Amino acid sequence: MIAVEDVSKSFRVNGSVLIQALDGASLHVNKGEFVTLIGPSGCGKSTMLNLICGLMEPDSGSISLDGDASAQRLGRVGYMLQRDLLLPWRSLLDNLLLGPEVRGQDMVEARQLALSLLPLFGLEGFADVYPAALSIGMRQRAALLRTILCRQELLLLDEPFGALDALTRRTMRTWLLTVWERFKQTVLFVTHDVDEAIYLADRVYAMSARPGHVVHELTIDLPRPRSDTVIVEPVFNAYRSELLQALGV
């Protein structure tokens, strides 16, 4: 579905210093796959997502959508940032309806769909509540639901659980897989958590420190649906060791 080939990207900071974020990075995500991208802080993971969704263009290399390197990507890819970016002056439901509203979709239908999905997202009864009154976990689930309601085939998720405590993270990742089994969207998920990267994925890409490029690709051959107990199994340990070694830690 998406193929990133030999992509490099630099940023000019303060007019002069050139920071190379990505250097010859390649990866691909097949239709229906859940792929995770892991790497140290500052290695260019968010830059990779910004490039894929079309917010910026690479200095060199190519990005193809469904085999077409000249395809317009902006607006065809759902993108959820680490910060939830819920609008504080809109109720939860009005935040959820932002995408359909901007896209000019049938609002009656969108409203019904959003309301019907609230229980799955642990938000039942909160439609009229403002974001400030929600817990961080609820806000992240709301942000994910908002992204899903845009109904894009490809979802880019940038460390969505990064701000959560370890226990909530564990609950959220199992929950995310339940949601994913239901919607079957193609996902590229960025994280810096090794267990999270393995637990969620069909395939994991590991990136080097900046300038970032892919140093390792790992296919995760664990049955689905997965439960959290899988992380203590020997096969999971083997994946963890392989990934840590690739990351140089």
Residues near ligand ADP (CB under 6 A) are 11, 13, 19, 21, 39, 41-47, 210
Q: Judged by CB under 5 A, which stretch of 38-46, 161-169, 181-189, 221-229 contacts Mg ion?
A: 38-46
Of 42 and 119, which CB lies nearer to ligand ADP in the complex structure? 42
Nearer to ligand ADP, 145 or 156 (CB): 156
Shortest Å, Cβ 196 to ligand ADP: 15
Cα–Cα distance between 226 and 106 in angstroms, integer? 36
Min dist. Cβ of residue 212 to ligand ADP (A): 7
Smallest separation (angstroms) from Mg ion to the CB of 46: 3
Nearer to ligand ADP, 19 or 133 (CB): 19
Residues that bind Mg ion (rule: CB under 5 A) add up to a total of 2
With binding defined as CB under 5 A, does residue 193 bind Mg ion? no
Residue 46 interacting with Mg ion (CB under 5 A) = yes
Q: Which of Mg ion, ligand ADP, none lies near 53, with the C-beta cut-off 5 to 8 A by kind?
A: none
- By CB under 5 A, tell whether 209 contacts Mg ion: no
| Cβ-Cβ contacts under 8 Å for 205 (sequence gap 6 or more) | 27, 35, 36, 37, 38, 214, 216, 217, 218
* Gap between the Cα atoms of 89 and 208, Å rounded: 40
Is the Cβ of residue 45 or residue 141 nearer to ligand ADP in the bound state? 45
Residues that bind Mg ion (CB under 5 A): 45-46
